[in-house]
Structure 1
Amino acid sequence: MKTDWLTEFHRVLLIAALGSGTVCVLGTVATVARDAVAVTTDATSADVIVTDPTVTQLVLSAAGALPTYLLATAMLVLLHRLVGRARRGDPLFSGGTVRKLRTVGWLLLVGGPAASLLEFLARFALSGTVGTGGNYAEFDPARIAIWMVTGFGMLAVGEIIGRGQDLRAELDEVI
């Protein structure tokens, strides 16, 4: 029996989107419901445990990871819809496929660095709330690079499909 990889990938994307969405919700609930928050305060990654966090500390703690999970969930949902569309019709050179690929590309290209920056700023602000010598947070430029390469990759695939769409239209006119 031949495996239908498009169907399998569609299922994987659904499971991943549901998992990522669940992590968003449960992570936020767990952060808000916690009676303690761990705050990294220096380059040695020493954590200070705040046993009675303020609302601001809880919000900043949640904001330290939530943007990436929200972005990943949005990307997975968009890809799930794109693959679902592909399973139902002639997706390869359609305008809808090109638009969805470009949407995912721009989401990753712009949203990825924005999410990383928001998380950095939240962790930086959170560290300043514990009063142990100023603000501190690590910024990982590799995360930005990964988001951007992935975003450019999706835009490039969208461009390839768009060019195929143009060639197909030309061929239809010739025939």
Structure 2
Amino acid sequence: MKTEPLTEFHRVLLIAALGSASVCVFGVADTLTRGAVVVSPGATSADVVVADPSGAQLALSAAAGLPTCLLATAMLVLLYRLVGAARRGDPLFSARTVGKLRTVGWILLVGGPAASALEFLARFALSGTVGPGGNYAEFDPARVAIWMVTGFGLLAVGEIVRRGQDLRAELDEVI
């Protein structure tokens, strides 16, 4: 029995969204229950293990990875819903599809850099809690670039679909 590609995409997106949500939940639970926090206090220093972290240190440690996880989960859920609508017969070249693609694109374009900044700030603040070395955190511009390129890509696909919608309307007038 041959399955339709959208059905397979829909299943994979569901599995990915559930997996991503699980990583978010279990990651925070692990951080809050493991009883120790690992902190990078400086570029040349070894990592510091805080055996009995304060509540603030636990919260900052959890916040150091949660925004990206939540963003990825949101993206996967929105794409899952978009593919589900297409499977149910929602026309591909519709204003609704264009709107959903644009929404995901803007979420990634704005949310990716915001998530990276929030995680950087959490790591920076956390490093300041472990001694006289001051605050330190590394910022990864490649992560921001990946989110932005993905967001721009979805905005571009949304525009392609919008133009396809215009061509379809024009063709309907001719026929």
Q: Specify every segment of 5 or more residues in structure 2 that has no aligned partner in the other structure, as ranges.
A: none
1:46: Cα distance to partner? 1.8
Partner deviation per Cα, 1:74-99 (whole Å, 9 max, x = no partner) = 00000000001111114320111101
Q: Specify every segment of 5 or more residues in structure 1 that has no aligned partner in the other structure, as ranges.
A: none
1:131 aligns with 131
1:19 aligns with 19
Task: Give the Cα–Cα distance (whole angstroms) in 2 for the partners of residues 145 and 44 of structure 1.
Answer: 26
| Shift in alpha-carbon separation, 1:104–1:45, aligned structure 2, 3 A | farther
DSSP 3-state at the match of 2:137: coil
Task: Give the Cα–Cα distance (whole angstroms) in 1 for the partners of residues 12 and 44 of structure 2.
Answer: 38
Output the aligned Cα RMSD.
1.2
Aligned residue identity for 2:9: F
DSSP 3-state at the match of 2:38: strand
Task: Give the Cα–Cα distance (whole angstroms) in 2 for the partners of residues 12 and 45 of structure 1.
Answer: 42
| Shift in alpha-carbon separation, 1:117–1:45, aligned structure 2, 3 A | farther
1:89 aligns with 89
Task: Give the Cα–Cα distance (whole angstroms) in 2 for the partners of residues 164 and 92 of structure 1.
Answer: 9
2:122 aligns with 122
Correspondences of 1:93-172 after superposition (within 5 Å):
93-172=93-172
Q: Percent identity?
A: 79
Asked whether the 8 Å contact 1:41–1:132 carries over to 2, the reply is no
TM-score, normalization: structure 1?
Answer: 0.96
2:7 aligns with 7
Instruction: Report how many aligned residue pairs link the two structures.
Output: 175
Task: Give the Cα–Cα distance (whole angstroms) in 1 for the partners of residues 162 and 8 of structure 2.
Answer: 25
Aligned residue identity for 2:157: V
| Shift in alpha-carbon separation, 1:112–1:45, aligned structure 2, 3 A | farther
1:42 aligns with 42
Aligned residue identity for 2:75: M
Partner deviation per Cα, 1:108-148 (whole Å, 9 max, x = no partner) = 00000000000000000000000141111110000111110
1:60 aligns with 60
Task: Give the Cα–Cα distance (whole angstroms) in 2 for the partners of residues 12 and 138 of structure 1.
Answer: 33
Asked whether the 8 Å contact 1:105–1:153 carries over to 2, the reply is yes
Aligned residue identity for 2:73: T
Task: Give the Cα–Cα distance (whole angstroms) in 2 for the partners of residues 116 and 55 of structure 1.
Answer: 22
Task: Give the Cα–Cα distance (whole angstroms) in 2 for the partners of residues 11 and 44 of structure 1.
Answer: 45
1:30: Cα distance to partner? 1.3
1:2: Cα distance to partner? 3.6
